[in-house]
Amino acid sequence: MESENWKPNFTIRFNSTQTPSKELGSSRIIMAAIEILDLEKSYLVGFWRKRPKLALRPLRLTVEEGEVFGFLGPNGAGKTTTLKLLMGLVFPTAGTARILGKELDDPAVKSQIGFLPEQPYFYDHLTARELLNYYGQLSGVPAKGRAARVEQMLERVGLSGSASVQLRKFSKGMLQRVGLAQAILHDPKLVFLDEPMSGLDPMGRREVRDLIQQLRSEGKTVFFSTHILSDAEALCDRVAVIHQGELRGVGAVADLTSGTQGKIEIIFYAAKVPAGLTALGAVARISGDMVNAVLPEEQQDAALELLRRERLKLISLAPVRNSLEEYYIQRLQPTDVEKEDEEDEARNEENRKGVGV
C-alpha cells in the first residue's frame, strides 16, 4: 500500500509519438470542462412596464472533462437559457462561467467547443455540404482535408445522399442531423447539445445515442439537455435536474439508480389477489391473468410461502430499483419555501382582484 504511493501518476512511453508533456496534460490532470459560477439571467418582459423575469437563478455546476452530463428539466426550466449563456449568445445578469479553464469571451474557447441549438436552423440558400464547408472555414479547419472531413461528417449523420440539396428543402429531422454534423465537424473537445434527439425518427435517436457513446470513448466531454429520461439514464455519467431556473439536484446516474427501495416486485399467474398478500403489506394490481404486487423486502419469504400454499405459478421476482424517473419527479416537487411563495402570490392575486372590483 505504502509503496504504491510514491509512484508517479503518469507513464512516459518513449515509443509514443506524443511528447511526454502532452501525455501528462491530456491523461492525468483532470480539469473541469465547464465551471458555472452563480450564473444568473433575468429577462425584461412586459410591453409597457418592463419587469425582470428570472429565467435562471444563480446556478453553480461543474462538469468534469470526459464526462457525459445530462441536463434535465421540464419545459421552461432554463436549460436553453443556460446553454445560450455558455455560448455567449446572451449575457448573464450576474455570475460567470469558465469553459476548459478559460473565460467565455476568450476566442480560444470557441474553436474547442461544438454546439447544437434546439430546433436548429441554417442558411437555407446553402446545401448541406456547402454549409459544413463554410462552418469548417469559420472554425479554422485547415483547407487541406476540410472537404474530406465534411464528407466524413455527412456520412456519420446519414446525409451523404442529400449533401447537394439546399437546406430549404430539408425536413426537421434532416436539419437536426445537419446540426449534429456541424457540432462535431471541427473535432471539438467539448460538445453542447440542446435536445439532440428531438425531431428524430427511432433510427435517428439510436444513431445519436451511438454518436454520444462514441464521443465519450474518444474522451470528449458532452453536455446535453433532454426530456427523455431513458436516454439520460443510458448515456450519462451524471445528471442535473433544473426546475423554474433553479438547480434541484446533481448526481451520478450509477448512484441514483443503483440503490433499491427495500421493496420487491413479484408477478404471478392468478385470477384475483390472494387474501393473505395484503396482510403482508403488498400493493397489488391485476393485469390480465397476472397479478403484480410490490411489498417490503423482508416479506419475501412469507410471500413465496403463500404462493406455494395457494399453488400459484410465479413469473418473476425482482428488487424494485430506483430509476432516474423517480429521482427526477421527486426533484420537481415544490420545496417548502416555494409553496409559501406560491401561497403569497395567490393571496396577492386575490387582493388585487378585490381592489379591481
Partner 1 sequence: MNSRVGYIAFNTFREAVRDRVLYNLIAFALLLSGAAILVGEISIDIERLVVVNLGLTAVSLFGVIIAIFIGIGLVSKEIEKRTLYTVLSRPVRRWEFVVGKFFGLTGTLVVNTVCMALGVFLALLYVSHKFEKMDQWVLVALYFIVLQFFIVCALALFFSSFSTPLMSAVFTFALFVIGSLAEDLRGFARITHGLGGWLATGIAYLVPNFSALNVISQVAHGDPVAGRLILYNTAYALLYSAMAISGAVLIFQRRNLK
Ligand X SMILES: Nc1ncnc2c1ncn2[C@@H]1O[C@H](COP(=O)(O)OP(=O)(O)OP(=O)(O)O)[C@@H](O)[C@H]1O
Question: What is the spatial distance between Cα 93 and Cα 102, in angstroms, rounded to a whole number?
Answer: 19
- Which range touches partner 1 (CB under 8 A), out of 5-13, 67-75, 115-123, 240-248? 115-123
Do 227 and 195 touch, CB atoms closer than 8 A?
yes
Does residue 223 interact with partner 1 by CB under 8 A? no
Strand partners of residue 102: 99
Question: What is the spatial distance between Cα 321 and Cα 335, in angstroms, rounded to a whole number?
Answer: 25
Do 87 and 120 touch, CB atoms closer than 8 A?
no
Does residue 80 interact with Mg ion by CB under 5 A? yes
In the bound state with partner 1, the residue whose beta carbon lies nearer, of 195 and 233, is 195
Question: What is the spatial distance between Cα 210 and Cα 276, in angstroms, rounded to a whole number?
Answer: 48
Minimum distance from residue 135 beta carbon to partner 1 (Å): 7
Does residue 55 interact with ligand X by CB under 6 A? yes
Do 166 and 125 touch, CB atoms closer than 8 A?
yes
The edge-to-edge listing of strands for the beta sheet with 221-226 is 113-116, 190-194, 221-226, 68-72, 238-243, 246-252
Does residue 36 interact with ligand X by CB under 6 A? no
In the bound state with Mg ion, the residue whose beta carbon lies nearer, of 34 and 154, is 34
Minimum distance from residue 268 beta carbon to Mg ion (Å): 44
- Which range touches partner 1 (CB under 8 A), out of 14-22, 112-120, 200-208, 245-253? 112-120
Does residue 91 interact with partner 1 by CB under 8 A? yes
Interface mask (CB under 8 A) for partner 1, residues 31-60, using x and -? ------------x-----------------
Question: What is the spatial distance between Cα 85 and Cα 354, in angstroms, rounded to a whole number?
Answer: 41
Does residue 162 interact with partner 1 by CB under 8 A? no
Q: Which of Mg ion, ligand X, partner 1, none does 87 bind, CB closer than 5 to 8 A by kind? A: partner 1
In the bound state with Mg ion, the residue whose beta carbon lies nearer, of 80 and 182, is 80
Q: Which phi and psi angles does 112 have, rounded to 5°?
A: -105, 0
- The distance of Cα 268 from the centroid of its chain, to the nearest Å, equals 37
CA angle in degrees (0–180, nearest 5) for 217-84-32: 45
Minimum distance from residue 269 beta carbon to partner 1 (Å): 56
Does residue 176 interact with Mg ion by CB under 5 A? no
Task: Find all residues with CB under 8 Å of 18, minimum gap 6, and list them.
Answer: 26
Summarize as ranges the residues that interact with ligand X (CB under 6 A).
Answer: 43, 45, 53, 55, 73, 75-81, 118
Summarize as ranges the residues that interact with partner 1 (CB under 8 A).
Answer: 43, 84, 87-91, 107-108, 110-111, 113-115, 117, 120-123, 125-126, 134-135, 137-140, 179, 182, 186, 192
